[in-house]
A and B are shown apart, each in its own frame.
Chain A
């Protein structure tokens, strides 16, 4: 058999992770048998100028065929596309006929491309006749959208990334950019290095890696962000730094807004007390705010995911309007999105409270305009159901068919039990995905195989309004199809062939561009009319560009509102009077802990892609809960021990990470782990369906919970050549591994022997050959370890111990790949955990060069006294730089040790 010979292709595409939207160079090898070589950063892309974070750098590792959904499935059986489309379209027809168009809904994703979004939105709002088109973007930036719209009359991000480097004061609110938007963080960090006078302030209840470059960190009470900005507005007025001309000529509503601010946050001490911070810290922020007019307020999920998220956004925007810090270099309220194409979704109107192309149902004339443009037979006329409402309506039986695309609501929406009930109740659940197994595909009646990153063509928009191309360079695997194609096929079957007969994706983009320009005349911010006649060749040649790109302005638009004109009917920005309030649920005797959620450095969303890169699992391998040492001591919780967290909605098991980064009575946990990776760690089980009344965005960063130590258990590590079913363990977590399968487990005491036997039986059934084993038992330390070998090669390794241990598994699992009989010393070493002469790395800190804590400590002990010195010695931190904040923490540690 000979491999199909192809020519190697290299091309520029865009990273599929966060909203920074970095340019990526991807090379496809000339033979299908070759692995895709590591990607590199695109030096020409204005988002990253060649840099990539560790997640982006590992993209090639995620291009693999593991667990791809390769054919349409109906109730677990493979069917043809023809039959799947028929099933979907006939069911949609039936429910629309019997129950009206609102019995159908799309639930989309900030990861699908603008063109996919466009056809889904068009089909639902113009042809089926429902505005039930919502998206997981609802969970990340819906509050920011409403905040901008209330203030500017449009969903317009005023700033660009350069402003982050040009500002004199950067206030980062509710953002751990060091981990969630690493490239922006690095741009900020290097700007600050060049201009040490630039001030960075972090406002976050938690001490995060982002605090590393901060001159000031306000550890506010969860949810109290708005009062900081209410106070800054009040203080600006008192200090006389208002931009009176700007207020007078370009805004409305200042007086009532200021008087509300004065009432809500009358003075420094009141505000500091409300926020639970030191007065001096707040005074410092206020003095910098007065001093530096080039101010950017950089905000993200910590602001948006709140029951008063929109108000928080407007509290921020108010301050910028009042001081005229908008539309200028290095100044503005800058919302940073979490997804690669949340912005693209907003642009096509792919949210239930939008119509299309930055027009709302309430926008005068918009319905008619869009109807005419689309030649639409069944226009939806009012807002549809926002994500949480949508799933509630589904549970109530009102929504009977849902088409979920490229997202995992079983893990991302609050109150997983409710989401499960809703999907169980729904008559037809259609899920389009790349992956065969996600927590959500498990709930599907119809599964549609989708092409993914590097396979599909289209555009995405990043947080600075920059449209970039994602390029399809690899062939679609199996029967996978582009999402836009599947939507159009269903549309055709529903009788809308003429409106959905696109031959190529650029035609969709052209239509989207044409709609944005249609009867616009500068009335709407979103206008990319320049592209409305775009050809395929031009489309393929698009270079990253910031919208608006109206006809006659091919260079796009760097910064918005430079002219002080806004998209409200009178062209003036609006102040919004804000009454700061705390999160909806507050601690009680029964639910004493406040839970905050977030992300870890090396995973993204629900790990459906990052979970495929073994190297990304090394920074944080298991789901954890950060607990203050005081609370841990009181509850008898040991570091790395399994902890039970309960809320009124559900419970999870997580590993304790004892840390002073969280305040007492507060805990933090990352959101990434799904049931594909851990049996009992889906954090959304705990989150209540509390939403912002305006944006419908859930308060996912806040839940009230109980914590309890789990006793009478033993801890295990399993490394196996074959996948294992560990369903009946109290806790299991599968850690992505380069070789074989790596599980961390917790058993109830007394169950170990039975579990081991079951695993052994499974292995014996799965593998044939001459088997033998090695075992170790130590009743003093209660360690039990066993290695099973078939034909003298390792197939299974089980360690169990009474206390949580962190063992470095890299060497252990590498033994699975050794294709020759192991030496006696190596066999012994299997049960020790390391060969006698190997250097113990510890937990990996630098993923790029695989440098661990123990190596760093050793290098520091040997004289490395700075991060640069560490880099020179170990190379750590010299590639993507994501670990630099963590590396810095090692330096004082050493100083402490040497005292």
Chain B
């Protein structure tokens, strides 16, 4: 039994015990535990794990023991209240209460929505079948790791998540085909050239690709399970499992129902405040300046901002470019900033065909604005710094693409 809340502390309730919610709870407990009674509510049975590591777990590169993001046990022992496996069903902003699926009613002084997102289920007939799943939670990974033999698996989506799933599954001995709507992989992070190198790498791993193609339908058996994926070409692929990794959509049903202002996600201001007093949102479920967030770095920034805001300190959130890395072992890829140049940008390109290395730097008026590195990503953070700091790179254009070692110790 958790300890009873102290009466003189204000109740701060966090809805969502994914990475954003758990980390916020942890950091708040550490820094402002004296101010708040923290209640963390999660719908998953597992809370506080590092979702980013799911790919590595699937690929058998790490074990369950490596998964925790925060030390839940210590938090609980110290009075943080964690309610797992019990999703919130409604929010009453007037009464400042939440109702959980279990029926429990929880009041709050301050509420933080960290409801995250869900895998997009493409509008394909048969998508509700039992063998159509997402790659989102520890439970999903448990399902995948329990598959036996050589299963024929269809991954829908050639983005970061889909590729990580495909890589993990093929490593586990399954036969994987990836459908990707765009003509090249990771089309939001890579240009065609780099994506081509990536494609070759994945093909070498034994993964089959259908680019520029989405399945038309899933053919179901009598028991409802999908047995075939029907292609645009009329071809029909026999499969055992479908993994949907065609993007994520912010989970905003609760907020929407409560009357909070939403667009694609819950709209927040630079102090992470929603349209309603005492309600904040962060992570994948929030939208700031028309942007939503899927990578961890800006979300960590949001947590830091919110920590200060809740403590009454001055802090504002601002969007900064965030590098993308792919968590597939042996595949090194780094992408940051503006990678599709407009006419006023210039692209410096380096390509090592034999080594499958590729670099593209997008430069605008002497400032680096975007970078794609494939193969050798050692200089990724340096480029990231140059972009962040808006460093004028005019005097190192001759060497920029070759990396920090050539640019920085330059002879005066």
Contact = CB atoms under 8 A, between A and B. Distances in A.
Specify which of A789, A828, A829 lies most central, judged by the most chain B CB atoms within 10 Å of its CB. A828
A840 interface: yes
Contact of B363 (A780, A789, A840): A780
Interface stretch (A433-441, A496-504, A768-776): A768-776
Specify which of A773, A778, A829, A840 lies most central, judged by the most chain B CB atoms within 10 Å of its CB. A778
A773 B402 contact: no
Contacts of A776: 348-351, 401
A309 to B, nearest CB: 49
Contacts of A778: 346, 348-349, 397-398, 401
Contacts of A789: 354
Interface string A803-845: 0000000000000000000001001110110001100100000
A772 B351 CA distance: 11
A783 interface: yes
B357 interface: yes
A832 B399 contact: yes
Given A778-B397, A781-B397, A836-B405, A772 B353 contact: yes
Contact of B350 (A772, A775, A837, A854): A775
B355 interface: yes
B402 A832 contact: yes
A777 B352 contact: no
B275 interface: no
Nearest to A824: B355
B354 to A, nearest CB: 3
A637 B398 CA distance: 23
Contacts of A792: 354
Given A780-B363, A854-B411, A827 B398 contact: no
Given A832-B406, A840-B411, A774 B352 contact: yes
Interface string B330-362: 000000000000000011111111110100000
A246 to B, nearest CB: 63
B402 A824 contact: no
Contacts of A832: 399, 402, 406
B376 interface: yes
B172 to A, nearest CB: 30
Given A831-B402, A854-B411, A779 B351 contact: no
Contacts of A774: 350-355
Contacts of B405: 836-837
Contacts of B352: 774, 824, 827-828
Interface in B346-385: 346-355, 357, 363, 376
A840 B397 CA distance: 18
Nearest to A770: B354
Interface residues of A, number: 23
Contacts of B397: 778, 780-781
A787 to B, nearest CB: 9
Contacts of B409: 836
Contact of B346 (A779, A836, A837): A779
Interface string A752-791: 0000000000000000000011111111110100000100
Given A780-B397, A781-B398, A832-B399, A827 B350 contact: no
A784 to B, nearest CB: 10
A694 B179 CA distance: 91
Nearest to B363: A780
B290 to A, nearest CB: 31
B352 to A, nearest CB: 5
Interface in A672-720: none
Contact of B354 (A772, A780, A783, A837): A772
A779 B348 contact: yes
Nearest to B399: A832
Interface string B132-149: 000000000000000000
A792 B411 CA distance: 31
B378 to A, nearest CB: 10
Nearest to B404: A836
A828 B352 CA distance: 8
Nearest to B402: A832
Nearest to A821: B354
A423 B348 CA distance: 53
Contacts of A773: 353-354
Contacts of B376: 824, 828
B35 to A, nearest CB: 52
A779 B401 CA distance: 12
A407 to B, nearest CB: 45
A778 B397 CA distance: 8
A829 B350 CA distance: 11
Interface string B386-404: 0000000000011101110
B411 to A, nearest CB: 6
A777 B350 CA distance: 7
Nearest to A839: B411
List the 3 closest pairs (A to B, CB-CB), nearest first: A772-B354, A836-B405, A774-B352
Given A772-B354, A775-B349, A775-B351, 17 more contacts: A772-B353, A774-B350, A774-B351, A774-B353, A775-B350, A775-B353, A776-B349, A776-B350, A778-B346, A778-B397, A779-B348, A780-B363, A824-B376, A828-B350, A832-B399, A832-B402, A854-B411
Interface of B: 346-355, 357, 363, 376, 397-399, 401-403, 405-406, 409, 411
20 contacts: A772-B353, A773-B353, A774-B353, A774-B355, A775-B349, A775-B353, A776-B348, A777-B349, A778-B398, A778-B401, A779-B348, A780-B363, A783-B398, A789-B354, A792-B354, A827-B354, A828-B352, A828-B402, A831-B402, A836-B409
Interface of A: 772-781, 783, 789, 792, 824, 827-829, 831-832, 836-837, 840, 854
